[in-house]
Structure formats: structure tokens, C-alpha cells
Amino acid sequence: MSDVSRPPVLEARALAKRYRMGDVEIDALRGVDLALGEGELTVLLGPSGSGKSTLLNILGGLDAPSAGSVHYRGRALDFTDDRALTAYRRAHVGFVFQFYNLMPSLTARENVALVTDIAPSPLAPEEALALVGLTSRLDHFPSQLSGGEQQRVAIARAVARRPDVLLCDEPTGALDQRTGVVVLDVLDRVNRELGTTTAIITHNAVIARMAHRVVGFGDGRVVRDERNTTRAAPAELRW
Amino acid sequence: MSLPRRLATAAAVVALTAGAVFAARPAPTAVETGAVTREHLEATLDVEGRTRVRDRYVVSATTAGNLRRPELRPGDAVEAGAVVAAMLPVDPTPLDARARTESEGRVRLAEAALRQAGSAVERSRDALTFARNDEARTRSLVASGAMAPHDLTVAEFATRSRADELASAQFAARGAEYELANARALLSRSTGAMRVDDEITLRSPVRGRVLRVLQPSGGVVAAGAALLEVGDTEALEVVVDLLTADAAQVSPGATAHLEGTGLDHALTAHVRRVEPSAFTRVSALGVEEQRVNALLDLHDPPTRWRGLGDGWRVEARIVVWEADAVTTVPLGALVRSSGVWTVFVVEGGRARRRVVGLGHHGGDRVEVLRGVRAGETVVLHPSDRLRDGDRVTAE
Amino acid sequence: MSALARKLLRDLARERAQLATIALVMACGVAALVSMRSAYDSLRAARDGWYARARFGDVFVSVRRAPRSAVTALAALPGVTDVDARVVGEVRLDMPGLDDPAAAKVVSLPRAGMASLHTLTLTQGRAVDPAHADECLVHEAFARAWNLRPGDGITAVIQGRRQRLRVAGVALSPEFAYVVQPGALVPDDRRYGVLWMNPGALDDAFAMRGAFNDAVLRVERGASVRAVQSAVDRTLAPWSAVASWDRAHHASARWIEMKITQLRAQATVLPAVFLAVAALLVNMVLTRLLGLERERIATLKALGYTDGEIARHYLSHALLTGLAGALLGVALGAAGGRLILGIFAQFFRFPVLAFWPTPATVALGVCASLGASVLGALHAVRRAVSIAPAEAMRPAAPARYTRSRLDTSARVHALPAAARMVLRELARRPLRALGSAVAISLAAAVLIAGRFTFDALDRVIELQYFRAQGDDVTVSFREPVAPAAALDLARLPGVLRAESQRTAAARLRHGAHTRECALLGLPADASLRRLVDAHGAVWTLPSDGLLLGRDLAQRLDLRAGDAVTVEDPTGVLPPREARVSALVDDLLGTSGYLRLDALDRLQRDGGRITAVALRVDPTRRDALLRRLKVYPAVASTARRATAIAYFREQLGRESGVMALILAAFASVIAVGVVYNNARIALSVRSRELATLRVLGFTRAEVSAVLLGEQAAQVALAIPLGLLEGRGLAGLLVRSVDAELFRLPLVVSRATYLFAVAVVLAASALSAALVRRRVDALDMVAVLKSRD
């Protein structure tokens, strides 16, 4: 249930996903409807194993649903066309993962450059890193950076391409509270300054307070979808 | 680790190491083997020779005339006195005084020859009697053990030789008779005692076979022309030529094995005589050598060498040394090493080098005086890589 | 440079040890390819060029004595462009310091004004002066062996007459590019050479005034050589010509052709083995590497990189390795090719033998290397890139282990945990284990295939020179002599035994097939020279009938019991019939064997002999040889010990060098496979192994888990490799031209052990290198990780 005043950038209709892991079959999603509006910062809240990551992956074109469809700015994503999905990701989507997923053999600057090399109209790597406050760490390798710094590099990498949608999967999951707050602050700034539609997955209810909207997940389904009347600043969050 | 497990590991390690060492040993060499035997050994002198009919007689025309085409062929048997040629005499010219004297002279010559042949026969007969007595005496002495059996063989051989010589003398005597008859016939014809158109028949003086037909077609022949050759093919001897240096090793009575005759078995012969006078000959290798002839008599009865004729090539192996019960090894087992002759004896699966002292060589075996015993096995044609103590297997 | 490119370089640097070993294997393959092919190219070019420049003949014929007028008839035959008629003979050379006489082929130089074939290349001195009958040209091989220079003199015995010849110059001829005495296997430059003399000088000696006994013809391009041969045979039939032969049967040309063909075959097989192993290694390494990179591949996909870009990125790993291998290989190959050519130059007497690596060969080497890399990488990359990104980001499911029959047996339970882990790991991916074992086994196979020729030749020496021959000296005659010659020789001082032999050239005919061969007649009781087959069995000659070499019989389509027509190549004797008693796997050449008296019956000349084998008392041997030197009928005296020593020396030198090279090659393969496997296993299971350390396993036990898998693969590889090696050896045996000689299939225990030892040593070395890393496993980092 979105605000009609802002058209949905990304919309999921009746998404379902079943996958195998080893010898086990898992129903991750059982019919999910969701819409992300322009410039919104949405938090997808739910316990681990509730299918949040799966939803994010499908929204980003990383995974194909067993049933249902995804629409980007009104156009349906063709999950059978791998090339189209790649083009979609290349041009419009930015990812931030729980475990950063940086290339250990590249410096911070080079990790960001990975994206700027292929994006149509990116920020300069240095700019992106400045945005996340890591100008002094441009030429450090991930092994020389703290967890928070690594995540901030990942964010810089994600935003450097100026994506239309920023999808974050448990961005603070591996961080302590103090560092986590820093990261959330960056995300918030990016959302405000660049107007990027942001979706953050977390199991931490405290974080939900900084979002425009909170979508609750349980057992592969959307259980609630509310707007925050007041938004907390990331600095105020304690967990 | 617990004790049983430690023991098991240790046992496994030991087994593996043993297995590795075992596998690393070089494989036993495969060798050909021969035996050290105790056998009769002969050292021989190998020479080349040919057969020869001992007693041959040439039938010649007694007078000039027209020879009838001969019907006899080489190999045909003839009896003594059989007609072998016939001819029509040409008109005999009456002999003048000189010719007549010549003819008479020839008759006297023939008579003298006959007398000589007769006395030769007598002499041979005496020699044969002596040899027979000697043989009998030797036989009894050998039976009583006073003389060696070898001496009996010598005596027997002597008897046989004398018998052969008597036969030859008798043959020669018949020839002389024949010559005398011819000479008389010639004389009588010239004195006109015979008629002109009497056919003259020439007869074989001896029993034997026709060896060669020298006048194969009929026609006019001169007096004295050789017409054919007859001989006793059962009286065959063998003539071999020896290098003078080797002749000293050959003594009369020595046994010889005759091979290469084309018959499928070897023949035995004995050396009758080595001629005293040498001659020069170019050998098969192209060098000039001094050689001397040796005569051998065949020991086997004529039925054994039925196929042999006159002038057949033979290879004679004249025994110059022999002994019984001699320890011998094959020639191929000998290896020269550090200046001495050695052999490799197979003992317990290994080749052991032994120095050997050698004696006489005979064919492809050699007499061993010391170093190995009869019954042992030796390696034949050992490779130059074979070392004392190497493991070997017989192939 | 793009970030992705930077990642590539850094990744390569991190894996440098592993990729280096792969590059090394590839370099070996490329080096083998480039060196052998370029040697082959150079040899062929040198040979073909020389044959063309020097006008090497196409048809060769030898005749007893034909008048010069026949040359016109030959020149007029259709298809013939040039004819060279000359006088050829064999002479003895009395060289100082040699007890047994050296021999030489003597060839008459062309007459002034005649168009000449087989143009000589003068390397020293000048041409022979027609006015001097005693001048000669000496073949360079012989001149070099005896240090002869223009102006030196040599004593020759020509047809029984001693003559002092003066060396005017040193020359080379395409006809004698490979100089080997008829009947010998290896060139012995000290004992056999070639001389060229004025035609007039030889005419007198060989009674060839106004005549010739040897002719060479050149056939125009496009004409049928066979047709010309038949025409030549017909033309020269009245003068007892031996059937003409072409280049394929020319003594020197066929040896060179065989060696060149062998080189070409080797240039394909050996590199193929190496490149196959390299491709296998690339596949293994890249598969595991990509397994590790799963998450990163997913990330790149998430970042928007296409499958193609990602695939190219990872393929570059393989390509750059391949390129490194190619460059190293080309450099090594150039050096190696020069080396190989140097070895050939010792035997192939070419005036110019330049090493010329063609760009085509270099390109082939580079392409082969790159091709092998891509081939090995393709499957792995394709599989890795095709994983759906989301799946790649999920932690990989723990590897599936199932209970197999292996597990239920009590013995397995009794094994320590480490052994059980090793067994289960092997059982999980049996194909992968087998693949590695096969790759390692190739190392052993290469070693065996390379060394076995020496084992085989060793056996040939043993059979041919020890079992078949027991003589010390074999005396050969210029012409067949009376059998009494053997008896005469037997009586010479020092001779322990003498046995006659007779060889006769014959042409065998059966149906539509004909074959030239040599008939060897031996006495029934022969012990100094016997017929021994390739299995070592001694054959008794039948009293009547022929024993034929199996290859010869096959070419004639003959079986035991068949009748065959024996024709006289000189045309003197009428065709005769003989019966084939049995087929023999003989060692040398094309021969028929029969008893001496049976051969005498065929030749109908009352029995003559051509050679006598002598067993001689060593203390009297030298005196005997000196004596034999002067016998006019004797053409040569061959000492068995000399032939053996020479053969052994040649073999020994080559085998030592080869063993080293092969050991190096095999080690490269073995190290490449074992090291990479171990390193990969280490990185894949590092968490697992570090966890073991945390749990209390000692360093040795953890190493055992990791290296136990490798050890099991090596243990499997060794017997496999021994079998493969024997198989390869069997293939090589077939490649030898059986008409020249047969190589028995013999692999000595020492060779097998050598192969096993090298593979074990290389594996142990790799294990030691990896063990250091195992010891350095970081336990703490493991505890922090999320798996």
C-alpha cells in the first residue's frame, strides 16, 4: 500500500520462491506484494529465515521467482533473459551485502572503480568514497580496513553508479552498534542527498525507526506495511 | 598411538621396505646353459680329399683300326674277360724287320712285367700270412692281458691292409697277363697268322665297372689309343692332402671320419700311408702352400658306401688324439678373463666364475683338466656384463 | 587499467606458485614441440635442398659389367633426364694402428665433360687431377676420424694390389649422407669410409675398361619412377643387373628418411602428452579456484558485470598462464632444437645443417599452449559463470558425503580418523581422483617410453652379439670360395674353431609379390653363428627348407608350409623353388635362413662359402689378424668385440643424456599435478583443516589428512603409469622400420624403478612444499569466520 503521490519505482506482485539447498526444499516466499516508491527509504523487517534476502535478490534481478512478477518503473522484468537482467542491474541497481563482498585483492578505490568502469554515468571513485567519509583510506586493502570501513566502501561502490534503487541486505549485521550507526547514517544521507530509493533488510527492529516505511515479514509473507509517522535520526538509534 | 596399532604400523613399514628392496633387486639374467660331461673326446685334423679307385686299368687299342661304337657306359659292370670293345683292323702292313723286332721286344717286356707282377703277388701273399699270424698271436696275448686291446686293432688293421695289397697285386698281375696277350696277338697278326677281316675283340682284364669311356663314338683309332677305363669300384681309397707342418701329427693306422660325401652317414677310414714327397699348391685362400698326400682306406664294408664313386669330394677328420672318459665343457662356455680361461658355473641359482685348466680341443668341446667336475652346469655364451655371483635362470 | 584488470593481476600474483608449475608443464610441451618440429623442419629443408642442388638420383642400379654403349640406351628411356654411369667397388684400407683392416667404398668420378649427378661438395683441398691416377677424394666423416688432410697418403688394397693413394681433397656427397657399412647398424667412421678416384684408375683395377658397373638416373618431375625402374631393368637385363632400386631403398637415403619420420612422430606425441597434462592441470586448478571465488563471482554479477565479461576475466588466468608457458617453451625449444640438430649432425653428413625455426612452428607452439589453456579452462569457467548469482551468495552446501560400502566394513572403522577422511574424500569425487592419478601416471609413462629404447637395444646387443654369435672374428671373402677355405683357416695358429657361412642375394617371389632379401646358409652343427629370434630362442635349421623373417614373409603373403620361388638377381641361375618351413621373429634386416648344404643345392655350384666365423685364442689374435690381412681372398675381418664396444659406447652416451632430460620432464609433470592438487585442497578445505587443529589434531595428523589424498592418488598413478609406459613403448616399437631392424619390446626392471623413483621423489618434494603451508594454518582466523 503505497502513497499514490509517489509512483512506485520497483513493484513485486504475487512473488513466490522455492529453492533446494542440498537435499532440502525450502519455500522462501509465498506470495508477496510490495511496492517501493520514489525516494523512499523502506526497511524490510523480519526474523532470519523469513525470506527477506530472497525477496531482495529477486527485486535486484539476482534470482528468478518461482511465480509472480517484478516491475521496474512499470516495465516487467524478464527473468528468462539473463542479459536483460544484467543490463538492469548494471544500470539501475546498487547492492550492499551483510559481509561486504569486497574484492580482497583490490584497494578501496579500485573496488569502487569496479563499478565506475562499467556504469554509464558514474561518480568518480574518490567522490563516492568521500561521500562515505573514507578519503583517507583510498588505497587501503580490505584486510587493512575495519568492518565498518569495509561496509562503507561497499556502500560507496553501490552508490557510485548513481543507481535508481539501492538494496541493502543486513548492512549492519556484522557490525557493532557504534559502527553500525555510522553506516546507517551514510545510508540515510545518500537517501536524502541523492534521492535514491533505498530498501534495507534487517531483523533489528530499532533500525526500522529511521525508515519512511516499515514492511514486516514473516514466514515468506508480508505481515504488515506501515508508514513511520516520525523518523529517527540514525545517531539516535541504540541497540 | 596404542601399542597394537604401533606394532601394526611398524609391521606394515617393515613389510613395505622389504617389498621395495626385493623389487629393486635386478632380475636374474636369463642364460643358456650347457653341461660338463665325461665323455670320449677326439682332437682331429680336418682336411679335404677325394675318393680314388685303387685299381684301374686302361683298355687301349692293340692296333690301328675301325672301332665299333662302344655300347658300354660309365658305371656298367663288367666281368673279367668280358668283351668291352670291338674293332676291325685296318690292313696290317707287313712288319718289316725293325718293326718285327719292336713287336718281339714288346712281347718280352710284357713277359718280364708279368714275372714281376707274379713275384709281387708272392710277396704280398707272404706279408698277408705274416700279418695273419701276428694277429692271432696278438689276439691271444690280449686275451691274457699281456697286451693292450689297441694293439689288437693295429694288428687287425695290418691284416686287412696286407689283404688289400694282395688283391692289388693280383689285379696288377692280371693286367700284366692281358698286356702280354695283346703283345703276342699283335706279333702274331703281323706275321700273318691272323686273317684280315677278323674282328678284334678287346676284353676286360678284371672284374669291376667301367669308370670312363674315353672314345665315346666309333671311328678310326690309332694303335695304342686309350678306349676306356675299368676299375674295381669296390676297392676305393681316399686321398687327402695335408700341410707338411701337420703331416707329422698323422701316423699310419690313425682313424679318420669321412663326412661331406653326400651320404647321410659318416664313414670310417684308417690312414694307410703318408707319402714322403711334398708338392706346392695354391690354397682356397689364395696362398701357396707345401702339401703332402696321405692315403686312407675305408673301413666300412662296401654296402655302407654304395653311392660313392671315383673322385668324390670328402672331408676327412683325422683323429690325432683321443681319450675316453674325459671331462669336457662346450667351447661356448669359455671366457678369457685376466689372462686365464674361465667358465661360469651355475651354483644355487648364481653364476660363479671358476678358473679352468684346458687340455685338448675336439670339435666344439674342450678337455678340462681342472676347475670343474662332470655333472655341473655352465653358462653358454655369457654376456660381457655377467659378473661372479649374479643371479641367473636357465632359459 | 580497469579495476577488473587489476584484480586479475593481483589474483595471478597470489596464485603464482601454482600457475608457475602449470606454466612449466606447458613450457615443456611447447619446448618439445618447437624443438622437435623445428629440428624436423631444418633437417628436411637441409636434406631436400641438398638433394636438389647436388642432383641426387632417383633410380639406382648395379650391374656386373655393362658396356658404356648401354648408357645411351638408358639416357634415351622416357622420363630419364640424366644418367651417370660409374665404377663402384669395395676396397680395403690399411690404416696404421688398426689390426683389422678398414674398408671403403670407392666410386669413380665422372669423366670430364659429362653431366654429373651427385655433385660433390668439397670441404677441403681441391678436385682430383685427372692426370694423377693415385689421387683421391676422401669422405669427410672418414677424414675427420683419421685426421686426414689434403696431401696425406693412405694405403689401399684394391683387388689384391696394394696402392698408395694421395688425398687431394675432402668431400661430401648426397649419396653418402649416412655412411654405414653394409650389414652394420651404426656408422663407424674409423672402419668404413668412402673414396672417389679417377675413372681411369678404377677401370684397370676392376677390369671395367669401356664398361661400368653402377648407374644413377634422374627422373623428370611427374614421370613414374616405377616405370623408369622397369625400363632400366629391361635395358640392363643382358648384363646381369641386380634389380634397380629407388630412394626408398637407397642405403643412405632410407636411414635418413626413417630418422626424420621418427622425429616427426615424436614431435607430435611428446608435446601432446605434455599439453594434455597441462590442460588437465588448468582445469583442476581453475575449477577449484572458481569454487573459491563463488561469492566474488556473484558479487560481480550483482554489480552488473555480464557473464561474458566475467568469463573473459577468469579465462585470462588460463590464457596468461598459457602465454607464459608458451614464451618459456619457445625459448627452451629454440635451444633444444639446436641441440637435437647437433646430435643429428654427428651422423648425417650434410654440408650445411642450419637451425631454422620457422615462424609457423613458433606460432604453432604458442597456439598449442594457448589452446590447451583455454580448453582446460573452458568447462570450469562456463560452469562457474552460469551459477545464478543468488545461489552463489548462499553459503555453499556442505560437501555431500554419503555412507558407502566402504564405510560399513569393520576394517574402515578401525582406521584412524585421518585415514577415514582421506578415504571418504576419495570416494566423494572418484573421477577427480582418477583424473589426477592419470595425469601423474603420464609422468611415469613418459619416462618409461623414453628409456625403454636403451633397454631394447641392450637386449638386441645381447641377443645378436652374444647369443647368436660366439665367434671372435668373422672373415669375409671377396668372392665365394671353395669350402676348403674354412679348413685352411681352422688350421691357423690360435684358431680354436672355424665354421663356414654363406650369404647369397636373392629375390623371392610369391604370386604378385616380390622382395629382395639375403639368404644366410649355416652348417647344421653351427655354434659360432646361430639363428636367434627376438625372444631369445635358438632355432635349429631344417634339413630342407627355408626359415623366413616374419616381416619379410608378411610382405610376400607367405605362411609356413608355402612354396616360394627363389630368383637370382644377377640372372645367372634359373628360378628355383623352396619351401618355407617356419616364420621367425628375427632381429636384423630381411633375411631367409637355411642350412648350408640346402643353400648350396639352391646355388648349384657345388658348395662355396662367403665367410668363416672363427673362435680365436685371445693371446694369438693379433698375430692371426695380421696374417689374415695379407690373404688376397680375404675382403674383411670383423671383430665382434669391436662392434660391441662401439655400439655400447654410442648407446651409453645417448642414454645418459636422455635419462636426465626425461627425469626433468617427468618431474615437472609430477610436481605440477601433486603440488597443485595439494595447494587447491588446502585452500578449499583450509577452514576444515584449521578446525581440526583447533580440535587438537597435531600438525602431522592434519598433514596426513591433506596429503593422504595425494599419496593415494600417487599410489594409484604408479601402477597405471607403468602400464601406460609399456603401452607407449609398444607403439614406439611399431614405428621402427622393420625392414632395417626390429626392436624387441623389453622394459628392464631398472627402467620401471627409475620411473617409480622419479615420480615418488617429485611427489615428496611437492608434499614437503605444501606441508609448510599446512603448518602455517591460522587457527584464530577460522574461529572468526562465518562458516
Contact call for residues B152 and B176 (beta carbons, < 8 A): no
Question: What pairs with residue A11 in β-bridges?
Answer: A35, A71
Residues of C within 8 A of B285 (CB-CB) are 481, 485, 488-489, 631-634
Q: What phi and psi values does residue C196 have, to the nearest 5 degrees?
A: -115, 135
Residues of A within 8 A of C6 (CB-CB) are 105-106, 110
Residues of C within 8 A of B383 (CB-CB) are 462, 466
Calculate the alpha carbon distances from B288 to A23, B6, B49, B291 in Å.
105, 87, 18, 9
Question: CB distance B364–C631 less than 8 Å?
Answer: no
CB C750: neighbour CB atoms within 10 A? 14
Nearest CA in chain B to C489: B285
Q: What phi and psi values does residue A134 have, to the nearest 5 degrees?
A: -120, 30
Mean pLDDT along residues B302-330: 87
pLDDT under 50 in chain C at which residues?
787
Please state the domain extents for chain A: 8-228
Tens of pLDDT, residue by residue over A119-137, are: 888 889 999 999 888 999 8
Of C7, C301, C786, the CB nearest to A106: C7
CB A224: neighbour CB atoms within 10 A? 10
Q: Which residues of B touch C (CB under 8 A)?
A: 5, 23-24, 26-27, 30, 32, 45-48, 243, 246, 260, 283-287, 315, 330-332, 336, 361, 363-364, 366, 381-385, 395
Contact call for residues C198 and C109 (beta carbons, < 8 A): yes
Going by beta carbons, is chain B in contact with chain A, meaning 3 or more pairs sit under 8 Å apart? Answer: no
Contact call for residues A92 and A163 (beta carbons, < 8 A): yes
pLDDT value at position A41?
92
Tens of pLDDT, residue by residue over B262-272, are: 788 888 999 98
Residues of A within 8 A of C400 (CB-CB) are 22
Q: What phi and psi values does residue C305 have, to the nearest 5 degrees?
A: -75, 140
Mean pLDDT along residues A206-219: 89
- Please list the helix, strand and coil fractions of chain C in percent, rounded to the nearest 5, in that order: 55, 20, 25
pLDDT value at position C737?
59
Of C467, C483, C750, the CB nearest to B381: C467
Rama region for B225: left / alpha / beta (φ>0; ψ in -120 to 50; rest)? beta
Nearby residues of C479 by Cβ (< 8 Å), 6 or more positions away: C633
Tens of pLDDT, residue by residue over B269-294, are: 999 889 989 999 888 887 888 999 99
Comparison of pLDDT for A99 and B391, the residue scoring more = B391
Contact call for residues C386 and C299 (beta carbons, < 8 A): no
pLDDT value at position C609?
92
Of C460, C710, C503, C470, nearest to C592 (Cα)?
Answer: C503
DSSP calls for B185-236? HHHHHHTT-S-TTPPEEEE-SSSEEEEEES--S-EEE-TT-EEEEEE-TTSE
d(CA C315, CA C289): 12
**Min distance C591 CA to chain B CA atoms (Å):** 23
Question: CB distance B285–C481 less than 8 Å?
Answer: yes
Of C626, C763, C12, C684, nearest to C284 (Cα)?
Answer: C684
Of C485, C491, C615, the CB nearest to B284: C485
Of A96, A198, A26, A60, nearest to C390 (Cα)?
Answer: A60
pLDDT value at position A47?
82
Share of chain A above pLDDT 90, in %: 14
Extract the runs of DSSP E, i.e. beta strands, from B283-338: 288-298, 313-330, 335-337
Question: CB distance B285–C527 less than 8 Å?
Answer: no
pLDDT value at position B94?
60
pLDDT value at position C738?
58
Mean pLDDT along residues B209-225: 83
Helix (H, G, I), strand (E, B) or coil at A23: coil
Nearby residues of C9 by Cβ (< 8 Å), 6 or more positions away: none
Contact call for residues C621 and C497 (beta carbons, < 8 A): no
pLDDT value at position C787?
45
Question: CB distance B47–C483 less than 8 Å?
Answer: no
Going by beta carbons, is chain A in contact with chain C, meaning 3 or more pairs sit under 8 Å apart? Answer: yes
d(CA C612, CA C641): 16
Mean pLDDT lowest among A1-15, B18-32, C4-18, C81-95: A1-15
**Min distance B283 CA to chain C CA atoms (Å):** 7
Comparison of pLDDT for B2 and B354, the residue scoring more = B354
pLDDT value at position C414?
57
Nearest CA in chain C to A61: C302
Question: CB distance B361–C496 less than 8 Å?
Answer: yes
Question: CB distance B383–C496 less than 8 Å?
Answer: no
Question: CB distance C303–A82 less than 8 Å?
Answer: no
For strands B365-370 and B357-362, give the pairing: antiparallel
Of A22, A86, A101, the CB nearest to C299: A101
d(CA C389, CA C395): 12
Task: Return the residue matching grid coordinates 530509493.
Answer: A197
Mean pLDDT along residues B122-132: 92
The CATH code for residues A8-228 is 3.40.50.300
d(CA B113, CA B375): 65
Please state the domain extents for chain C: 1-55+257-396, 469-644
Task: Return the residue matching grid coordinates 535514491.
Answer: A196
pLDDT value at position B238?
92
Contact call for residues B65 and B93 (beta carbons, < 8 A): no
d(CA C200, CA C210): 10
Rg (CA), chain C: 34
Question: CB distance C302–A19 less than 8 Å?
Answer: no
Comparison of pLDDT for B256 and C281, the residue scoring more = B256
pLDDT value at position C113?
64
Helix (H, G, I), strand (E, B) or coil at C529: strand
Tens of pLDDT, residue by residue over B64-91, are: 788 888 888 888 888 888 888 888 776 6
Extract the runs of DSSP E, i.e. beta strands, from C181-327: 192-197, 211-219, 241-246
Comparison of pLDDT for C778 and B336, the residue scoring more = B336
Contact call for residues C690 and C39 (beta carbons, < 8 A): no
d(CA C489, CA C254): 37
Calculate the alpha carbon distances from C547 to B17, C502, C522, C544, C606 in Å.
49, 15, 12, 10, 22
Return the C-alpha cell found at A188. 540515510
Query: Chain centroid to CA A208: how far?
Result: 14
Nearby residues of A86 by Cβ (< 8 Å), 6 or more positions away: A61, C301, C304, C305, C306, C307
Interface partners of chain C (CB pairs < 8 Å, 3 or more) are: A, B
Helix (H, G, I), strand (E, B) or coil at C302: helix
Residues of A within 8 A of C10 (CB-CB) are 105-106
Task: Return the residue matching grid coordinates 700273318.
Answer: B192
A4 has a pLDDT exceeding 60: no
**Min distance C21 CA to chain A CA atoms (Å):** 22
Question: CB distance B46–C487 less than 8 Å?
Answer: yes
Question: CB distance B46–C481 less than 8 Å?
Answer: no
Q: Which residues of C touch A (CB under 8 A)?
A: 2-4, 6-7, 10-11, 14, 295-296, 298-307, 309, 388-391, 393-394, 397-398, 400, 786
Residues of A within 8 A of C388 (CB-CB) are 62-64
Question: CB distance B26–C749 less than 8 Å?
Answer: yes
Tens of pLDDT, residue by residue over A22-44, are: 778 888 888 889 899 888 999 99
Nearby residues of A221 by Cβ (< 8 Å), 6 or more positions away: A29, A30, A31, A32
pLDDT value at position C291?
79
DSSP-derived secondary structure letter, C416: -
Of A60, A82, A80, A83, nearest to A70 (Cα)?
Answer: A60
